[in-house]
Amino acid sequence: MQAFYEIKNVIWVSDSSSLEECSILLASFDFCLGVKDADNNILGYVLKPDSDRVLKFDIKDKCIRLITSCTSKIVAFDDLSTQKHLNKILGSKVKEVVWLDDGNDSIDKLAILSKKNKLEDIYLIEEFKQVVENPVQNLFKKCSKVADANNIPIFLIGGIVRDLIIGRKSFDIDITVQGNAIDFAHLLMVQYPDTCIINSLHEDFETAKVTFLIDDNEIKVDFASTRKEAYDYPAALPRIIEIGCELYDDVIRRDFTINSMAMSLNEETFCKLIDYLGGYQDLNAKVIRVLHPVSYVDDPTRVIRALKFGMRFDCESDKSTNFLEKSCLDSGLFDGLCGKRIKSELKQTFNLNRASVFTNFVERRLYYLIEKNIIIDEVLNNLGEEAEICINDHLNYLEKIDNIWLIYLSLLIIDLDKARIADIANRLYLSVKESKIILQSCELWHKLQDLRGFESNFEIYEFLGGYCNEALVVNLIKFKGSNVVGCIELFLTELKNAKISVNGNDLIRLGLKPGPEFSRILRGILKAKINNKLKTKEDELDYINILINGEK
Ligand code: CTP
């Protein structure tokens, strides 16, 4: 890929300068800000479009670090530097440098890697054949026919293209139409009346859900229109400002370069990769890179996505993306953030069930998006490994595998007071069941710490009986190495499902009349059984006499 460089005249500012002060300095597109820390180290730069963009939010007092890029592809130099010297630093690509003659000797310059990369022609034909099943290939060909006949560009875009390149099958089939997806769905239905059914149309977003019948397979496809979006305030849900826009505008609203690629589905360019922002190179180099420095301000949940994709694809965030992540978390802009999107990202990320996810989540301070006041100590730092092992050993006991993330979340917030935990549950839009898991985990953790020990199995049974299994697993992790672990394990594996053989009919047969006494007797039998006093049904029947006579 060929790179282009731009030269900007630089105005140096301190990293603690406010966004407002900085925007006043950035009067022209020929200038950029060079940002230095208190020790005069260069941290990075800020371009005018990003400064303008962030000032639309009501955050002008926040400091400039929030949108400072620090890519290694910038070089600061003064007027004494010759182009030859610059060539040496930047390599042969410097031929593309645009020289700006400002005539002001006192201002330094920065050479900045431009985002406009020249596109190389890459076709994903082999990847397509290998990853996409035949019926789906046929489906794409059918769409392609209709698109070509009507001169409509259609694409695969985002995660599905990324997954195709790395040979991973995507389960959702999303096709993006440069134009109007609803109109396109109608064209498909007219062309294939017997095999194409429109399930639903969403006019707000101009999207369509369609089912195709191909070779006895029912294939569901979501059609979306290309769209331009804007955020009204940091962390807001994006607002659509244009539907049917150019593909480029649909791409630049996205999060990371690896998610910003599209693949043409039109006949002539079938499988052609459209990679405006260098996603292909980043995916191969295993780099997570935000598309622009305001990305995390627009949508801070992307810092969790960076971790998720990093872990899932074994990638690392580039220097600038890391810097922006730290600045975003330091800014305090997102304290107490609400959101279904945070929940959804936490769920997907922690459900990977990897120790390294938890460790990174803590080390990179991503918990700031949930609650800033979590006390980080050695114990919490090392909990990830224990959690992964314990969860894997107890998968069968979880109500559903999708609850894994709630175990990790509980481990993070377990030392907070009940009111705080309830507030987190509220802010993350947890369901009643989900809230119960985190609240019970915390309650049990505190209760078990105050407990001296259990006198009998039945006491364990009674004590733990009201807690869900997820809360028990959380406490298995927290109490590793203590006696409590044995008690919880015993409860999970044996006591919880203990059953007695006698029932009400047996009591009637013994001449007893149904009433409240029945439950006292049956409970008494259960207690004796759990405490290992009764083995067979006969033992239980004999024991009824003892209970009737009032002995316990
Ligand atoms: N996206 C984004 N910012 C977000 C969420 C999503 O820019 N906070 C964009 C990304 O470009 C992403 C696309 O929307 O590729 C679809 O989002 P999603 O379905 O969450 O992600 P995928 O990339 O498809 O990944 P996954 O395999 O996890 O579904």
Take atom 8 of ligand 1 and give the residue whose Cα is closest: 302
In this predicted model, what pLDDT tens digit does every residue of 246-291 receive, in sequence order? 999 999 999 999 999 999 999 999 999 999 988 999 999 999 999 9
Contact between 547 and 525 under an 8 Å Cβ cutoff? The reply is yes
CB atoms within 10 A of CB 508: 12
In this prediction, residues 352-360 reach a mean pLDDT of 97
Contact between 530 and 498 under an 8 Å Cβ cutoff? The reply is yes
Question: At 211, is the secondary structure helix, strand, or coil?
Answer: strand
In this prediction, residues 70-76 reach a mean pLDDT of 61
* CA neighbor of 331 nearest in space, from 65, 68, 24: 65
Whether the pLDDT of residue 102 is over 80: the answer is no
Whether the pLDDT of residue 515 is over 70: the answer is yes
How far is the CA of 343 from the CAs of 405, 429, 433, in angstroms?
10, 7, 14
Which pLDDT does position 5 carry in this prediction? 60
Take atom 28 of ligand 1 and give the residue whose Cα is closest: 159
What's the gap in Å between 476 CA and the centre of ligand 1?
A: 34
**Number of H helices and number of E strands within the chain?**
25, 16
Give the chain's domains with CATH numbers: 5-113 (3.10.580.10), 125-285 (3.30.460.10), 335-454+466-479 (no CATH), 504-548 (no CATH)
Take atom 25 of ligand 1 and give the residue whose Cα is closest: 159
Residue indicated by tokens 């978390």: 329
Helix (H) or strand (E) holding 218, with range, is: strand 217-225
Whether the pLDDT of residue 182 is over 80: the answer is yes
Ligand 1 atom with minimal separation from the 256 CA: 11
Which residues are CB-contacts of 88 (< 8 A; sequence separation ≥ 6)? none
Instruction: Out of 111-115, 170-174, 198-202, pick the least confident.
Output: 111-115
Which residue has better confidence, 392 or 499? 392
Ligand 1 atom with minimal separation from the 348 CA: 28
What's the gap in Å between 394 CA and the centre of ligand 1?
A: 31
- Residue 118: pLDDT band by 50, 70, 90 thresholds? low
Take atom 7 of ligand 1 and give the residue whose Cα is closest: 254
Residue 206 sits at φ, ψ, to 5 deg, of 55, 55
Take atom 15 of ligand 1 and give the residue whose Cα is closest: 158
Residue of 160, 257, 259, 347 to test ligand 1 pocket, by largest number of atoms within 8 Å of CB? 259
What's the gap in Å between 305 CA and the centre of ligand 1?
A: 8
What's the gap in Å between 188 CA and the centre of ligand 1?
A: 26
What's the gap in Å between 8 CA and the centre of ligand 1?
A: 33
Distance CA 319, CA 366 (A): 17
In this predicted model, what pLDDT tens digit does every residue of 477-496 receive, in sequence order? 999 989 899 999 999 999 99
In this prediction, residues 103-110 reach a mean pLDDT of 51
How far is the CA of 100 from the CAs of 109, 126, 149, in angstroms?
9, 45, 47
Which residues are CB-contacts of 288 (< 8 A; sequence separation ≥ 6)? 256, 258, 282, 306, 309, 310, 315, 316, 317, 318, 321
Distance CA 114, CA 73 (A): 9
Which pLDDT does position 336 carry in this prediction? 61
* CA neighbor of 144 nearest in space, from 133, 157, 156: 156
How far is the CA of 524 from the CAs of 107, 487, 519, 534, 546, in angstroms?
88, 21, 8, 11, 10
What's the gap in Å between 254 CA and the centre of ligand 1?
A: 8
Residue indicated by tokens 């020790």: 39
Contact between 42 and 77 under an 8 Å Cβ cutoff? The reply is no
Paired with 212 in beta bridges are 196, 219
Ligand 1 atom with minimal separation from the 260 CA: 11
> Which residues are near ligand 1 (CB < 6 Å)?
158-159, 254-255, 259, 299, 301-302, 305
Distance CA 193, CA 275 (A): 35
Structural tokens at position 32: 């950029």
Greatest CA separation for the chain: 110
Which pLDDT does position 110 carry in this prediction? 64
What's the gap in Å between 506 CA and the centre of ligand 1?
A: 60
What's the gap in Å between 70 CA and the centre of ligand 1?
A: 25
Residue of 164, 253, 254 to test ligand 1 pocket, by largest number of atoms within 8 Å of CB? 254
Question: At 453, is the secondary structure helix, strand, or coil?
Answer: coil
What's the gap in Å between 159 CA and the centre of ligand 1?
A: 6
In this prediction, residues 311-330 reach a mean pLDDT of 95
What's the gap in Å between 158 CA and the centre of ligand 1?
A: 7
Contact between 44 and 76 under an 8 Å Cβ cutoff? The reply is no
What's the gap in Å between 354 CA and the centre of ligand 1?
A: 21
Which pLDDT does position 375 carry in this prediction? 87
- Residue 85: pLDDT band by 50, 70, 90 thresholds? low
Within 13 A of 438's CA, how many CA atoms are on the CB side?
28
Ligand 1 atom with minimal separation from the 305 CA: 8
Within 13 A of 260's CA, how many CA atoms are on the CB side?
23
CB atoms within 10 A of CB 95: 12
Which pLDDT does position 238 carry in this prediction? 86
Residue of 240, 251, 252, 255 to test ligand 1 pocket, by largest number of atoms within 8 Å of CB? 255
Ligand 1 atom with minimal separation from the 163 CA: 27
Between helix 340-350 and helix 404-413 the angle, nearest 10°, is: 110
Distance CA 382, CA 431 (A): 29
In this predicted model, what pLDDT tens digit does every residue of 125-172 receive, in sequence order? 999 999 999 999 999 999 999 999 999 999 999 999 999 999 998 888
